[in-house]
């Protein structure tokens, strides 16, 4: 592990790197406030906007793949950390347009939640949005990955290249691009291997000392450990054969995600994780191609280089794509970006740069919604106040639950948000002065986003933004103003649940707030009373006591804890629902 760097202060490293990229590629716009890069030549009204992003440290992904025929924009978090919802929103505002926006992200929890929340907020404001989640890893098989699914690795770059070409040259619709993207993802498989972990600039060294005689197969791009260690380090031919086994062996039911023996065409990407010399890497690429040939697989296209790095990781990954003729054509299409080295056609442009001020102005539009559907402000204020007081009163009990099955702060998190909501209401917030139901829901969602930390905050915010978007759509169909009815609330709650299920694998039976939320909404959807829906939520909460956890920190606690208390998130949700609905 290399622990010495020329730059040892990581405070502004990401910002400086992005600025350096823009300084050397004049067609790129650098937005310093939001750590994003935008293609100045992109017209979001003429063609669909493609935005990707994630933690820094994977360069040239994602910012280096912004350009004609590839990404419209990319947003960067800190090293190995997801960008914030605010950053993503501003990237959508600066690059997006009336043709719609597709967010292409890798399957990591922070990215999935933050990008989905940004999409819901944009959808709430009337923007056409879709989120494509890429999972191409095969090393962490079905049993271990469970509902979380496959990790996103270098195959993401092939997805972005194909969709970028189709968006640029065929002017496909957002729906068409999303469907094509799903097809590409379903036919991708990647596995990586590394000699060592990497060191983050400005961070202390860890117990992961330099290893000298082993290799980890299946190692992730954020220092995640591999699925197994080979010691002593084998010959490169043996290593590549074992990696290809994970990609190709149809007898391995845990990892047989894609069948390649019946492929129309196969695309190979050999990806340098950042620390392998060009000389050695080129020789390794030759080995991969040769070992594939021994299995009677002859790739139609081969891409070799540093596309998705892990800082200066001493490792590489192998990606195989079961490709159609259309995918090959899209991969061959011209692209102009710093990080795409194959079939590159550079063009110059005198198009004037957009300013960050324009992005700020457009971003403000994401936060202003209106609807012909109205709500009785007095009733809404009373319901919110009642619910907030109940959450504050339940803080200690829910924290006690969480201390046994989590990190002990679920009640505190909900109560802190409730207190912030009450304070905001005292200042005239949360309830729209004109009784606009969409404005009120959006204001409530903002308080949640700003005060509720962690996964709970993202889940509640995604739900609320989707509820608001559904109510806005319902209001747009009206000719005149009227009070929102039970049917619109029910439909909006179903839309919120659908949005959550796109963003998280959690379902009934996983010991999460879904165990209370899902039955509550399903009963409302069936046209039954709110009293019946509350009983369904309570029953769902009670069933979590003794239930095995499938997601979150509760997975790691002793099973005894599961039997003693219900899921804290489900318990908190029931308190909230009772406060809202029972006067």
- b/e string for 520-537 if b means 16 or more Cβ within 10 A? bbbbbeeeeebeebbebb
Is residue 56 marked as binding? yes
- Residue 410: CB atoms within 10 Å: 25
Distance CA 107, CA 52 (A): 12
The C-alpha atoms of residue 13 and residue 1 are separated, in whole angstroms, by: 20
Which H or E run contains 110? helix 109-124
Q: Collapsing DSSP states into helix, strand and coil, what is residue 77?
A: strand
Tell me how long the chain is: 583
CA distance 342 to 349: 21
194 in Cβ contact with 319 (< 8 Å): no
**Alpha helices (H) in 394-529, listed in sequence order:** 395-405, 410-426, 437-451, 454-476, 486-503, 514-525
540 is in an annotated binding site: no
Residue 323: C-alpha distances to residues 89, 199, 304, 331 (Å) = 33, 36, 17, 10
Q: Tell the burial category of 508 from Cβ atoms under 10 Å away from its Cβ (0-12, 13-18, 19+).
A: middle
Cα dihedral value 214, 219, 221, 224, nearest 10? -100
Dihedral of alpha carbons 554, 562, 512, 448, sign: negative
- Cβ(43)–Cβ(107) below 8 Å: no
Q: Tell me the two tokens of residue 161.
A: 């290249």
Residues 6+ apart with CB under 8 A from 286: none
Q: If you search the block for the tokens 């999935």, which residue do you land on?
A: 112
Neighbours of 228 (CB within 10 A): 12
58 is in an annotated binding site: yes
Residue reference for tokens 């990892």: 255
222 as an active site residue: the answer is: yes
Contact indicator for 179, 136 with CB cutoff of 8 Å: no
| HEC readout, 356-397 | HHHHHHHHHHCCCCCCCEECCHHHHHHHHHHHHHHHHHCHHH
> What distance lies between CA 119 and its chain's CA centroid?
10
274 contact partners, CB below 8 Å, separation of at least 6: 198, 306, 309, 310, 311, 312, 313
Q: Phi/psi class of residue 68: alpha, beta or left (left: φ > 0; alpha: ψ in -120 to 50)?
A: beta
- Spacing of C-alpha 509 from chain mean position: 23
Query: Interior CA angle at 62 toward 56 and 66, to 5°?
Result: 140
Q: Which of 25, 199, 222, 432 is catalytic?
A: 222
Largest CA distance in the chain: 75
Cis ω on the peptide bond leading into residue 286 (within 30° of 0)? no
- Residue positions annotated with a catalytic role: 222
> Known binding site for substrate: residues?
55-58, 111
> Known binding site: residues?
55-58, 111
């Amino acid at each position: 592990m290399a622990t010495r760097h020329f730059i040892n202060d990581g405070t502004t490293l990401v910002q400086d790197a992005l600025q350096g990229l823009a300084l050397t590629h004049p067609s790129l716009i650098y937005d310093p406030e939001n750590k994003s890069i935008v293609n100045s030549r992109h017209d979001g009204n003429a063609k669909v906007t493609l935005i990707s992003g994630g933690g820094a440290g994977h360069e040239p992904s994602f910012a280096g793949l912004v350009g004609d025929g590839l990404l419209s924009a990319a947003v960067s978090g800190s090293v190995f950390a997801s960008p914030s919802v605010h950053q993503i929103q501003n990237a959508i505002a600066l690059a997006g347009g009336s043709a719609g926006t597709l967010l292409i992200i890798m399957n990591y929890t922070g990215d999935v939640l933050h990008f989905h929340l940004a999409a819901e907020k944009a959808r709430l404001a009337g923007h056409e949005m879709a989120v494509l989640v890429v999972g191409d890893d095969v090393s962490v098989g079905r049993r271990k990955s469970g509902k979380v699914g496959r990790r996103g690795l270098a195959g993401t770059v092939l997805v972005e290249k194909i969709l970028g070409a189709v968006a640029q040259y065929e002017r496909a619709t957002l729906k068409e691009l999303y469907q094509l993207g799903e097809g590409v993802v379903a036919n991708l498989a990647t596995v990586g291997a590394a000699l060592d972990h990497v060191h983050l600039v400005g961070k202390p060294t860890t117990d992961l000392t330099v290893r000298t005689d082993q290799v980890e197969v299946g190692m992730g791009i954020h220092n995640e450990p591999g699925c197994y260690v080979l010691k002593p380090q084998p010959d490169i031919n043996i290593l590549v054969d074992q990696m290809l086994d994970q990609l190709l062996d149809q007898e391995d039911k845990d990892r047989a995600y894609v069948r390649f023996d019946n492929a129309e065409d196969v695309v190979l990407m050999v990806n340098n994780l950042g620390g392998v010399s060009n000389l050695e890497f080129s020789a390794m690429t030759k080995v991969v191609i040769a070992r594939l040939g021994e299995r009677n697989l002859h790739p139609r296209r081969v891409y070799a280089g540093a596309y998705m790095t892990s800082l200066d990781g001493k490792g590489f990954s192998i990606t195989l794509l079961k490709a159609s003729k259309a995918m090959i054509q899209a991969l061959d299409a011209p692209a102009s970006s710093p990080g795409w080295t194959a079939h590159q056609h550079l063009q110059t442009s005198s198009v004037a740069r957009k300013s960050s001020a324009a992005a700020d102005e457009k971003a403000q539009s994401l936060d202003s919604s209106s609807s012909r559907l109205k709500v009785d402000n007095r009733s809404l204020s009373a319901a919110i106040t009642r619910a907030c007081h109940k959450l504050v009163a339940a803080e200690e009990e829910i924290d006690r639950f969480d201390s046994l099955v989590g990190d002990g702060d679920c009640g505190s998190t909900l109560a802190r948000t409730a207190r912030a909501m009450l304070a905001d209401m005292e200042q005239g917030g949360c309830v729209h002065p004109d009784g606009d139901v969409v404005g009120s829901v959006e204001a409530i969602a903002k308080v949640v986003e700003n005060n509720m930390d962690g996964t709970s905050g993202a889940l509640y915010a995604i739900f609320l933004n989707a509820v608001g978007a559904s109510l806005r759509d319902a209001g747009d169909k009206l000719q005149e103003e009227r009070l929102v009815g039970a049917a619109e609330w029910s439909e909006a709650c179903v839309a919120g649940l659908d949005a959550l299920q796109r963003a998280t694998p959690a379902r009934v039976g996983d010991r999460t707030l879904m165990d209370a939320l899902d039955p509550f909404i399903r009963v409302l959807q069936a046209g039954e009373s709110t009293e019946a829906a509350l009983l369904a939520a309570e029953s769902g909460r009670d069933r979590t006591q003794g239930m095995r956890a499938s997601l979150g920190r509760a997975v790691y606690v002793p099973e005894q804890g599961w039997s003693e208390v219900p899921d804290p998130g489900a318990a908190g949700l029931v308190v909230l629902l009772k406060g809202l609905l029972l006067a």
